[in-house]
């Protein structure tokens, strides 16, 4: 009995949320492949990819969420899952399972709202990139806020470089959704202040309240521009 409890404890203490998200993404990708191919436009649209024009017309509202788990082609899911696995597992161990999950999901949804608002209405977007950039935003927040921890500062610098490279790559004309990347990055950075990580220190009230205000204002702007303009 003690061995079973120890085994369950090891699973609980491990980064099971990250691993579960990776597994879900892989299963969805396999399903898309069986259904007709992960680069087939009709398959992507009918299985949850985000098309701004459809959402604005009241169709496929759920794609704001489901598109986080849909990937276009093998390279897309390969690079995203590698990044999520290594960056996500480490962050989950530091901040805990449920804070990690909340930040991941919120960042992905926020990124998709940004994409919905500012991307070409007829474009097709999908992938975990927005949520992954949200994770990167958390690292940047911790590097800025908890300056008594050199390891967090060093990790923040690495994540900043990764972010800059991602933005530059998007500006140079790759198929990356730069709007979603920036949206996710901002969301992760701000919501990390709202949630806070007391194991490293107290987050100032003005930063928390300011982050809440910014999130509400930006979400309001997304809704107004996407659905009423």
Residues annotated catalytic, as ranges: 129, 181
Long-range interactions of 154-161: CB distance < 8 A, separation 24+ = 159/87
Long-range interactions of 21-24: CB distance < 8 A, separation 24+ = 21/84, 21/88, 21/104, 21/128, 22/81, 22/84, 22/85, 22/88, 24/69
**CA-angle at 154, arms to 150 and 160, nearest 5°:** 140
**188 token code pair:** 């992760």
Task: Look up tokens 């999950």; give the residue.
Answer: 101
Residues 6+ apart with CB under 8 A from 190: 137, 211, 214, 215
- Distance, CA of 58 to CA of 227 (rounded, Å): 9
- Distance, CA of 27 to CA of 49 (rounded, Å): 15
**115 token code pair:** 């994409």
User: Is the distance from CB of 113 to CB of 167 less than 8 angstroms?
Assistant: no
């Amino acid at each position: 009995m003690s061995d079973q409890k120890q085994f369950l404890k090891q699973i609980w203490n491990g980064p099971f949320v990250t691993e579960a998200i990776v597994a879900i993404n892989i299963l969805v990708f396999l399903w898309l492949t069986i259904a007709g191919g992960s680069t087939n436009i009709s398959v992507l649209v009918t299985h949850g990819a985000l098309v701004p024009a459809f959402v604005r017309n009241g169709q496929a509202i759920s794609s704001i969420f489901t598109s986080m788990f849909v990937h276009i082609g093998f390279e897309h899911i390969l690079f995203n899952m590698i990044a999520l696995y290594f960056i996500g597992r480490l962050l989950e161990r530091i901040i805990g399972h449920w804070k990690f999950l909340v930040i991941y999901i919120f960042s992905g949804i926020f990124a998709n709202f940004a994409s919905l608002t500012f991307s070409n209405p007829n474009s097709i977007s999908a992938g975990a990139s927005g949520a992954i950039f949200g994770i990167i935003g958390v690292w940047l927040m911790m590097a800025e806020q908890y300056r008594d921890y050199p390891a967090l500062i060093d990790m923040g610098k690495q994540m900043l470089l990764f972010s800059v490279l991602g933005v530059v790559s998007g500006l140079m004309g790759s198929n990356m959704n730069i709007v979603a990347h920036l949206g996710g990055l901002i969301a992760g950075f701000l919501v990390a202040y709202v949630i806070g990580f007391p194991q490293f220190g107290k987050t100032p009230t003005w930063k928390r309240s300011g982050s809440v205000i910014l999130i509400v204002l930006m979400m309001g702007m997304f809704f107004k521009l996407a659905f009423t303009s």
